[in-house]
Amino acid sequence: MTRILIYIFFFSAFFFNCSNDIKTTKLVEITDTTTNKKSIETLKQETNYIEVNCDSIYINKNYKIKLFPIDNESNNTENYNYIFVVQKIIRGQEIPIYLDTIESKTKEIKFVDYNNDKIKDILIQNISDVRSNLTYYLYIVKLETDSFVKIKHFEEIKNPNYLAEYNLIDNYVMSGQNWKSFYKIKGDSIKDFNIVIYENETDKYDNEYKNAIKTILTKEKTTANSTSSNAGGQQSFCKSGRCARTIIFSLQLHNNIVSLFKHFGSHEMA
């Protein structure tokens, strides 16, 4: 899917007037990053938008979340139908600090910690399939820097569920045969462990689930230890390298001294 980046150069009343439910949007620049073509779209229609005051969630941060509808026909934004905006109230004005274009069917917004940092992150519902399996966009919240990290491919996980105890994500997908799979956030992306457990009516399902968690945690620990060992090995190698260079230098110095003695010795004999 072609990613569309929207930069808002000027929004009229809706950024500065919170008392009305109807706002007017103006001047939006849409950049298609695959073609590098830019066009200016003026949205003059009045639009209803969704607003969430985040004061009770992010204390003393003065955040507001807003979803502004996009007219797909006039703005050529493919399946995107909302602009997701995080605003921060600074000196009485609502200043946008994060923008993204999204597709959302239900416009549901949830706040759940997805990386065990005790800060609730932002989930916005994406789509729903024929069996009502829901997907979401995930934005990791960095309060210290007023920044938000969109996790790539998270919206591909149906019915995500965070397992804080293991710092993992599982899901429960309803299909012809219901199943679960497992994921983990790595940087700004999702790691898929490619383990699928199919639901059945026996105790086998519970055992498979426990074994899957155990296998993943073991692999993660092994990977972490391997990374740590490599780092230590590199440090030891550097130390060994310095020792090796010292030994080589000493041998060269010794050989030079021997050569000098041989040289002067040969002159005396002559």
d(CA 224, CA 167): 14
Model pTM greater than 0.75? no
Which range (146-155, 176-185, 211-220, 256-265) has the least confidence?
Answer: 256-265
Q: For the ranges 93-107, 123-137, 163-177, 238-252, which has the lowest average pLDDT?
A: 238-252
Q: What is the pLDDT of residue 230?
A: 66
Give per-residue pLDDT as tens, 16-54.
333 333 333 333 333 333 323 332 233 334 468 899 999
Residue 174 pLDDT > 80: yes
Domain boundaries, the chain: 1-103
Extract the tokens encoding 28. 């939006």
Q: Which residue has the higher pLDDT, 143 or 4?
A: 143
How distant is the alpha carbon of residue 137 from its chain centre?
10
CA atoms within 13 A on the CB side of 44: 1
Summarised one tens digit per residue, pLDDT across range 185-236 is 999 999 999 999 998 766 788 899 999 999 999 999 988 887 766 665 555 4
Please name which of 60, 67, 15, 57 lies closest in space to residue 141, comparing C-alpha atoms.
Answer: 57
